[in-house]
Amino acid sequence: MSLKAVVFDAYGTLYDIQSVAETTEDAFPGYGEIITQIWRIKQLEYTWLRSLMRRYQDFAAITRDSLAYTLRVLGLAYENEAFERVVEKYLHLDLYPDATAALTALKPRKLAILSNGSPDMLNALVRNSGLDALLDATISVDAKKIFKPSPEAYELIGEVLGTAPDEVLFVSSNPWDVAGAKAFGLNVAWIERVTPEAMALACVENELVAPLTMFKAIRTQMDELGFAPDHRVRALSELPSCSPPNGKSGMSRPE
């Protein structure tokens, strides 16, 4: 069966979450990098904790709460204006440079985003980046009130696009998301932007482990969960050459 849809994670896959660093540094000079990394780590942790606790709040609230946590533990006082300016950057994250061309090359398959982001956040981000002209759907887990990697979140793909799991290629740079999508039964491509070799070199070259290096060690390397991706690529631009496993003719043009 050929692939009928390609579905992307948003944060860290199509959009560079590290692009908030310039804004955090401007708002809190000397603390930009560590704020950026702790904020993202806690943001993800809060999605998992709230899912397990069955105490859902949307991603907009989680983004604010995790930033408040970060500033508090770092002992940083702040005015409301600075806080809002940093949060606002999540509506204007930078696209990875090859994102638009990669999506264009994957047409005419259905293209969609499945993200933990709240609807208002995602719709603004997609519109501000111009991807609304290419996407057939922007799907938020808010419809299920539970975050990825819950199977309920991945069910939304079929419900919205009318596809079976084996008709979908799911694309993410987040290893926990890759494992969740693969466990659900989707074809999965992992965007491996940071290799173990690059990690080892970064640690050897520095006496102290930088916040970004620590973040990459925690959140960019494949987890030991027993679910490997079908494809490992280094960039979005490599996706058009992917095909499903088991000899399926997946990236041919759909009928």
65 belongs to the catalytic site = no
**Catalytically annotated residue among 9, 58, 142, 177:** 9
pLDDT in tens, the chain (255 residues): 589 999 999 999 999 999 999 999 999 999 999 999 999 999 999 999 999 999 999 999 999 999 999 999 999 999 999 999 999 999 999 999 999 999 999 999 999 999 999 999 999 999 999 999 999 999 999 999 999 999 999 999 999 999 999 999 999 999 999 999 999 999 999 999 987 777 666 666 666 778 888 888 888 889 999 999 999 999 999 998 775 554 444 454 343
Domains annotated on the chain, with CATH: 5-16+93-241 (3.40.50.1000), 17-91 (1.10.150.240)
CB of 166 closer than 8 Å to CB of 244: yes
Question: Cβ distance 24 to 129 under 8 Å?
Answer: no
